[in-house]
Structure 1
Amino acid sequence: MAAGVMVGIVFDFFRTFRRWQGWGPVVTFGGDILFSLIAMFILYRLFARANALAFRFYNIWGSLLGLILYLKFFSRYLIRCYFELYQLITNLLKLFYRGILIPIRGLVLLMRPPYAILRWLSLLLYRLGEHVVYRPISRLKASVKEWLRQRWPPRTNG
């Protein structure tokens, strides 16, 4: 009966965890395979301990009876406990996340003035470079084209 109760506890854990996480069909399939492997391991260990893996009819019926009794009487209470545990974990993770954000927000607040100065300086240097370098080069290109046009003989059609 203990094997059935243990399998029921693991079953409820996987069922509630899957509902809490909102798993899709592929991950659910993987979780079901993992549950099957864990249930098989539990049954194997307890059957080995009970009677050296000699599968008797009463072992299987006892496991089924333990599972049915667990699902009938204890499952709903343990499901509530699991969901409360998941809610506690969620709240602790949110608290941890907020605790990490406090120094990050402080760093952002401290770095805002130097960043604004650097941004202004880089924009100023860009505009100066544009005025000092780009405009003379663009004017030089236009003046070279004009000089070449004047020196080259005109085209004649024919």
Structure 2
Amino acid sequence: MTLAEQLNAFLLTLLIGLMSGFAYDLYRVLREMLRLRKTGTFVGDLLFWMFLLVLVFALLLVGNNGEVRFYVLLGLALGAGIYLIFFSLSARRLIYRTIFFLYRTIQIMVAGALALWRIFTFPFRVLFFLIVWPVVQVGRGLSLAGRGIGRAGKGFFGPPVHRFSSGLRARWQRFSSRWHPRGKH
């Protein structure tokens, strides 16, 4: 390699080191926001470093045909060091603000979607209430009337009618239990 190619490769590794520092800050902010415990931190660290290793190797493969020389390692370390010393604090602030902005934007979008859904479904809910509520009340009234008629009929017609109505009730319960999940009769 010529000196110019080595200088370009060194500058590329310096840039890769800077990007690696930014990626580390991004991971660090996410780890702090998620409040990972020991196991989560261990798994997250392992995944992050494996990802960063593959990314750096791929960039080095493209940039200087994967040749690892002393100046490559020096460029990576120097780039990461420069980033961590000079840019890390402001980058983390920017990352926090960006994540907070995205979080608030998503919250506003979800609240807007829910409001639109409520506005859209309101006429249907009113119509449902106007139709179903009277039907339910009529059903309750008929049920109460039926119980009263059944109690009055027991004394008037005697045990044979009661056995007949009990048999009908048992058949209806067996028939209607087919639509209910098991254990919730």
Q: What range is the shorter-chain TM-score in?
A: 0.7 to 0.9
1:37-52 pair list within 5 angstroms = 37-52=50-65
Question: CA shift at 1:50, angstroms?
Answer: 4.6
Whole-angstrom distance in 1 between the partners of 2:153 and 2:119: 50
Q: Deviation per CA, 1:72-129, whole angstroms, max 9, x where unpaired?
A: 0011111111111112111211221122122222245434433433223212222213
Distance 1:114 1:2, change over 3 A: same
Whole-angstrom distance in 2 between the partners of 1:29 and 1:139: 74
Distance 1:127 1:15, change over 3 A: same
1:56-95 pair list within 5 angstroms = 56-95=69-108
Distance 1:124 1:24, change over 3 A: farther
Unaligned runs of 5+ in 2: 1-13, 163-185
| Bigger mean CA deviation after superposition, 25-34 or 72-81 | 25-34
Q: 1:144 is matched with which residue: 159, 165, 170?
A: 159
Say how many residue pairs are matched: 145
Q: Deviation per CA, 1:37-80, whole angstroms, max 9, x where unpaired?
A: 22112220233245432322332222112111110001111111
Whole-angstrom distance in 2 between the partners of 1:26 and 1:74: 29
Match of 1:127 in 2: 141
Q: Residue 100 of structure 2: SS of its match in structure 1? A: helix
Whole-angstrom distance in 2 between the partners of 1:24 and 1:105: 39
Distance 1:123 1:33, change over 3 A: farther
Whole-angstrom distance in 2 between the partners of 1:141 and 1:26: 70
Unaligned runs of 5+ in 1: 148-158
Q: 1:19 is matched with which residue: 28, 32, 35?
A: 32
Q: 1:98 is matched with which residue: 100, 107, 111?
A: 111
Match of 1:6 in 2: 19
Report which structure shows greater RCO (CA 8 Å, sep ≥6): 1
**Letter paired with 1:144:** P
Q: Residue 34 of structure 1: SS of its match in structure 2? A: helix
Distance 1:24 1:123, change over 3 A: farther
Distance 1:75 1:101, change over 3 A: same
